[in-house]
Amino acid sequence: MNIEKQDKTRSKMAIRRDKNQEKLSKSSRFIGTEKRLINALKKSIKKHRSLGLKACYVTTENHIPSSTFYDHYSDMTDFEVKNEKILVREFRKELSRFENVNFTLYELFQCSLIFWWKKREYVSLFLSTKNLTTPAILVDELKPFLRKRWNDYGEKNNLEMWRIFRFLVFAELANWAEENFDDETLATHAKNLEYKFISIPKFYAKLMK
């Protein structure tokens, strides 16, 4: 088995393991309700081209009882804030495995993509609304694990390079979304992120000439 097939196999096994853990941690009823609300919100946002929708519009247009929404959230702001906090907390837990251990960039990006694959409904929602605040917060959670991989080019330059990397992560996620988050391509996207992260200092140096 070649390296690329091994990477794909590891990614698929990790996804399968996380699927089983997810089934144990949440009831199927709650997961179904959560997905219904997210898909309804995506449809309404696509129709109105706006994120600033009231919950009543989302539930009425998608034939969902308003009580279903209000059993979980008080309003749309509550929906955004609660889910952002949950995503950040769960992502930090996933990344904690890399604390005080040696790891490759590929392993870190693979772990990140597996997490985003599990949360693909949310990722798709953020991308469709072009609301990248939460994705930016998640990407920034990688900074403590990545900042040592770059030389110190000065505070301003390092910040600019990080913004470039953040944008490249968004672009990679958008490309993956167009593939419907196919788990067969997860390893490829992890390698793409590894290459882009390594290449940014060279790209930035040419940009500043």
Domain ranges of the chain: 3-207
| Cβ–Cβ under 8 Å, residues 166 and 140 | yes
Give the CA count within 13 Å in the CB-facing half-sphere of 60. Answer: 5
Q: Thinking of the domain 3-207, which architecture would CATH place it in?
A: Orthogonal Bundle (1.10)
Alpha carbon distances (Å) from 67 to 57, 58, 59, 184: 13, 12, 9, 38
Instruction: Say what the pTM is.
Output: 0.74
What's the rounded Cα separation, in Å, for the pair 143 and 98?
A: 12
What's the rounded Cα separation, in Å, for the pair 60 and 41?
A: 11
DSSP state of 185: G
Q: What is the pLDDT along the chain (209 residues), one digit of tens a residue?
A: 454 555 556 565 555 555 554 543 444 555 566 677 777 776 776 666 555 667 777 778 778 888 877 887 888 778 778 888 888 999 999 999 999 899 999 999 999 999 999 988 888 877 876 778 888 999 999 999 998 888 777 888 889 899 999 999 999 999 999 999 999 999 999 999 999 999 998 877 776 66
